Amino acid sequence: MTGLALLLTAPAAHAADTPLRDLAAAEGKVIGTAVTGSKLTGTYGDVAGAQFGSLTPGNAMKWGTVEPAQGSFNWAEADQIVAFAQAHHQQVRGHTLVWHSQNPSWLTNGSWTSAQLSGLLQNHISTEVTRYKGKVAAWDVVNEPFNEDGTHRSTLWYDGLGSGYIASALTWAHAADPDAKLYINDYNVEGVNAKSTALYNLVKSLKAQGVPIDGVGLQAHLILGQIPATLQQNVQRFADLGVDVAITELDVRMALPSDSTKLAQQAADYKSVVAACVAVTRCVNVTVWGFTDSDSWVPSTFPGYGAATPYDENYAPKPAYYGIAEALGGGTTTPPPTGACAATYSVTSQWNTGFTGQVRISCSGASLSSWKASWTYGAGQRITQAWNATCTQSGAAVSCVNASYNGSVPDGGSVTFGFNASWSGGNPVPTVTLG
């Protein structure tokens, strides 16, 4: 039977499984995400609050954001994120106090003596850490201090203050909030290499000098299929120095467009990174650098690359989401069937002898040009009519194929068909397979 309008709706926004933050907690870990404060409403806020146990402001706590003009402060977005985190019982990872990038122009364009520069940095650190004392669990105190070859990066701070700026910054941060965990954070330090070895030697020497250093952040901006083989070994060697380790900015970028093969590889990549953290007791946190592809730095920085996060632009969990869940021990979670398209069966109304049901087919990171949805009734239900699909039933087995006009399900879209059926005794919901 035809005549009812074809329904096109957004894909399901939520994974029905145990939230990632609960899975992580059961493993003694915290799973976090970078966030943009202005987006923390609606579905973005729902997912950020429900799934993650810590938040990192993606930009809101950087010097250029908080003090755009000297002596003129803007804490609005940082305050908002901290308040959201408190309301959702989440930790905050403060990011970042000392960096060569995203500094205000009054600072970078100024001409400062070493003493002035040191005073500016101390004042900045004291002001920001004091403001969030007791509210920020961990700070990326120093961000990206090294070159790829393990030498110190030439920056405003290194050039003006020498390598001692790192110990000074940690000491000032500790004075402002003795309970906050203090980290040094960098990229391309996930595997054992010259840069990570320089970081290792620095942390070892800071520990030997009694400088307050609590942790090392491995950013983990990774490329599809290129997870460093020595990741877990590297995490372990830092842990063995007596510091915590966090994966602070995880994403796995791919050449666009994504397809089901790439998304499956990405799931495996996310799973292996999270598993490396789970395997090392002192690895305490894995944070993704944006949880949705609509809030990722990747496409604008690497043209032609993207789809780097665990949720698509419409907040549908991707296979990567399930990879994370599996690494966190979420054994009952399964990726959507047939790659990234999934079917959901629901009963929309029911009366004493009959009911109306619908099946929605949603795609994310994949698409369909035709479809067949099949299920087996467990209690003698019988389809009597269907619309927006052609359904046949043989015994308990039902099979519905697309109508001539709705075989195509685009990436990020969905198609719904409906039916009436009879029932008696019971009307359990069957599992639908696509194929």
Residue 104 interacts with ligand G2I (CB under 6 A): yes or no: no
Does 56 participate in binding ligand G2I (rule CB under 6 A)?
Answer: no
Are the CB atoms for 359 and 432 separated by under 8 Å?
Answer: yes
Dist CA 393 CA 1 (whole Å): 15
Q: Which is nearer to ligand G2I, 106 or 297 (CB)?
A: 297
Owner of token pair 């992580």: 24
For ligand G2I, the binding residue among 43, 59, 74, 408 (CB under 6 A) is 59
Does residue 219 touch ligand G2I according to CB under 6 A? Answer: yes
Report yes or no: 347 and 357 within 8 Å, Cβ to Cβ. yes
Residue of closest CB approach to ligand G2I: 297
| 59 vs 126 by CB, closer to ligand G2I | 59
Pattern 139-168, ligand G2I, x by CB under 6 A: ----x-------------------------
Q: Does 102 bind ligand G2I (CB under 6 A)?
A: yes
3 state DSSP class of 305: strand
DSSP string, 170-230: HHHHHHH-TTSEEEEEESS-SSSSHHHHHHHHHHHHHHHTT----EEEE--EEETT---TT
Q: Report the alpha-carbon distance of residue 373 to residue 400 in Å, rounded.
A: 5
Question: Would you state the structure tokens that stand for residue 22, as one six-digit string?
Answer: 């609960």
Nearest residue (CB) to ligand G2I, 59 versus 265: 59
Nearer Cβ to ligand G2I (101/205): 101
Question: In the chain, what is the straight-line distance between the N-terminal and C-terminal CA atoms, in Å?
Answer: 23
58 binds ligand G2I (CB under 6 A): yes
Which residue among the candidates 67, 128, 190, 249 is catalytic per the annotation?
A: 249
Between residue 171 and residue 190, which ones bind ligand G2I under the rule CB under 6 A?
A: 187
Shortest Å, Cβ 201 to ligand G2I: 22
Q: How far is the CB of 143 from ligand G2I (least distance, A)?
A: 6
Q: Is 190 one of the annotated active-site residues of the chain?
A: no
Q: Is the Cβ–Cβ distance between 206 and 169 less than 8 Å?
A: no
Task: Return the exposure string of 388-407: e unless at least 16 CB atoms fall within 10 Å of the residue's CB, then b.
Answer: bbebebeeeebbbebbeebe
Catalytic status, residue 148: no
Minimum gap (Å) between residue 219 Cβ and ligand G2I: 5
Q: Of 59 and 155, which CB lies nearer to ligand G2I in the complex structure?
A: 59
What is the spatial distance between Cα 283 and Cα 138, in angstroms, rounded to a whole number?
A: 13
Q: How far is CA 80 from the centre of its chain?
A: 19
Residues annotated as catalytic are: 144, 249
Interface residues with ligand G2I (CB under 6 A) are 58-59, 101-102, 143, 187, 219, 249, 297
